[in-house]
Amino acid sequence: MPVTTPAPPHDAGALLAADPEIAAVLRAEGERQAGTLQLIAAENFTSPAVLAALASPLANKYAEGYPGARHHGGCEHADTVERTAIRRAKALFGAEHANVQPHSGSSAVLAAYAALLRPGDTVLAMGLPAGGHLTHGSPGNFSGRWFDFVGYGVDPDTGLIDYARVRALARGRRPKAIVCGSISYPRHPDYALFRDIADEVGAHLVVDASHPMGLIAGGAAPSPVPYADVVCATTHKVLRGPRGGMVLCRAALAGRIDRAVFPFTQGGAQMHTVAAKAVAFGEASAPAFAGYAHRVVEHARVLAAGLAAEGFRVVTGGTDTHLVVADPSPLGVGAGRARDRLAAAGLVLDTCALAHEPARTVAGGDGRGLRLGTAAVTTQGMDAADMARIAVLCGAVVRGETEPDASRVLSDVRTLAERHPPYPG
């Protein structure tokens, strides 16, 4: 459902008096978000209740450890909040155990590796050129430095995961863990098949569900929980909570996961964020959130079809999720240039790798695609007709039509954004 209540009250006057420089930046950021369209697949608008929890007195509380076993005094209310968040997460996702302390999705993945692996172990994950995350083996990340990652990819013609290749790599390399997850794969993974492959080679199955977790909560995407040993996720994106992470796992792994989060990879939990996670889990358990999640997917499919009609090459021919990957090179423009043109017109999105590029890149391409998401604009209350209009505006901007046309696009974007403010009132 769109947010229909104003943002939580705060002492803006105190901030303005104490630090007018930062107050001005925050005001400008609010105006940017309200005056442009947020199409970044990893972003969303939290509810006023989530924002209120983030600004609560729990921001002042140090609470190293876990409920009932803290290293600081005065944690009785922090314990209640964390127990509530854990209970709600377990109920929402049908998990045997939940750890809600990770500061981010990357922190959650780090904890999963720390619980299950030792440095030097072999891990099979989606390769970065095919859409793997930095924590799936990037040489600049702890994952690529500490573990021996083997990357699987997608079929060059369909863009879908090549499961036969995944099985062959698993048989050949005998990984200690298989990671299922991506930052730009727009289709549902076959979790049961990944489980079968992991069992065949004696590997743990780790699912990085950061992108689809909100869809899973709303019943708009299949759940990996029955198949995975560990599920890592963020609590923002489609889930519409605060920026943070969580880990779900089987009861048998609960102790290892908890010790991997604290004290191995993190110190004190951010209790105001844990409170905001609890609020978000509660909101996601309401029937209205299921309707929202299904609309997010419907809108992404409309957007994908509209972009294809505008001449973009849509990866995998569409989407099952909230995200769309579109190659603008058939229009004679590379993704970086297209992103900058779109940003100037108030259409904010990002780029991602394209598998099997740049070998197949046509004139004007740069081996990357545009990654768009419909979570934030759906939160604002936009509908399928608005998605079709956004696709037309994207086509006009990327084709680089005349300056009067570009100005018209910016005007249309602002009108659409003003019609659907993220925080009315």
Catalytic residue among 43, 64, 148, 190: 64
Catalytic residue among 243, 277, 339, 341: 243
Active site residue 208: yes
Active site residue 191: no
Active site residue 64: yes
CA-angle at 159, arms to 312 and 353, nearest 5°: 70
375 neighbors 322 (Cβ within 8 angstroms): yes
193 neighbors 380 (Cβ within 8 angstroms): no
* Percent helix / strand / coil, the chain, rounded to 5: 50, 15, 35
Please name the residues in contact with 291: beta carbons below 8 A apart, sequence gap of 6 or more.
Answer: 1, 218
Active site residue 176: no
Active site residue 235: no
Give the other-Cβ count within 10 Å of 259's Cβ. 14
Which tokens hold the place of 329? 């090179």
Got the DSSP string for 196-226?
A: HHHHHHT-EEEEE-TTTHHHHHTTSS--STT
Active site residue 66: no
Catalytic residue among 61, 187, 237, 339: 237
Catalytic residue among 135, 234, 321, 374: 234
Catalytic residue among 208, 229, 283, 386: 208
332 neighbors 364 (Cβ within 8 angstroms): yes
Strands 177-180, 230-234: parallel, antiparallel or unpaired by DSSP?
Answer: unpaired
Active site residues: 62, 64, 208, 234, 237, 243
